[in-house]
Structure 1
Amino acid sequence: MSDVRHVLVLPDRDAAEEVAEALGERFEAGEEPRIVRDALAGEDDAEDAQWLVLLHDEQGRLDPAELDAFAAKWEGWREEP
């Protein structure tokens, strides 16, 4: 079993929540996606944060390019691990 992780970076919490919900509908992920707030370096304002959706893909079935295009619909992207 491999430990393949995908990190989708989104501009706000609403987008991250929508993406996490839509991932389950669009892709067959074995584990529930996790949402994490990532404060940008040197920023104190809560508005200056990125939201991450962490997705484990132990089977290695998810196509990184497809995930990147999926995140782009919410003005996000897939971060390389």
Structure 2
Amino acid sequence: MSDVRHVLVLPDREAAEEVVEVLGERFGLDEEPQVVRDALAGEDDAEDAQWLVVLRDERGRLDPVALDEFAGEWEGWREEP
């Protein structure tokens, strides 16, 4: 198996948590994605953070374009590896 990961970048924690809830239903994930806070360089304020949703795709079955469009529904995007 390969160690393929997709990273969705979301504007806030609420969006990231909503994305995690819907991802499993829409894409039939084998395991729950990981939510990670990513502070922007040089920013001290918690408001100036992006939230990442990291999903493993060991079988390579998730469509990157579909994930990008999905993240866009929450004003986010899929980060290119």
TM tier, smaller: over 0.9
TM-score, normalisation: structure 1:
0.98
Cα displacement (A) at 1:17: 0.2
Q: What amino acid is the match of 1:43?
A: E
Distance 1:54 1:30 in 2: 13
Gaps of 5+ in 2: none
Displaced runs of 4 or more, over 4 A = none
Equivalent AA in structure 2 for residue 6 of structure 1? H
Deviation at 1:29, TM superposition (A): 1.4
Matched, 1:31 2:2: no
Shift of 1:30: 1.5
TM-score, with normalisation over the residues of structure 2? 0.98
Distance 1:28 1:12 in 2: 24
The aligned counterpart of 2:73 is: 73
Structure 1, 28-37 or 13-22: larger mean CA deviation:
28-37
Q: State the partner residue of 2:40.
A: 40
Report what 1:2 is aligned to: 2
Counterpart-to-counterpart distance in 1, 2:4 and 2:21: 20
Partner of 1:54: 54
- How far is 1:58 from its partner? 0.6
Secondary structure in 2 matching 1:24: helix
Aligned to 1:66, the other structure's residue is in SS state helix
Task: State the aligned residue count.
Answer: 81
Residue 49 of structure 1, CA deviation: 0.1
Once residues 56 and 50 of structure 2 are traced to their aligned partners in structure 1, the CA distance between those partners, rounded to angstroms, is: 19
Distance in 2 of aligned mates of 1:69 and 1:50: 18
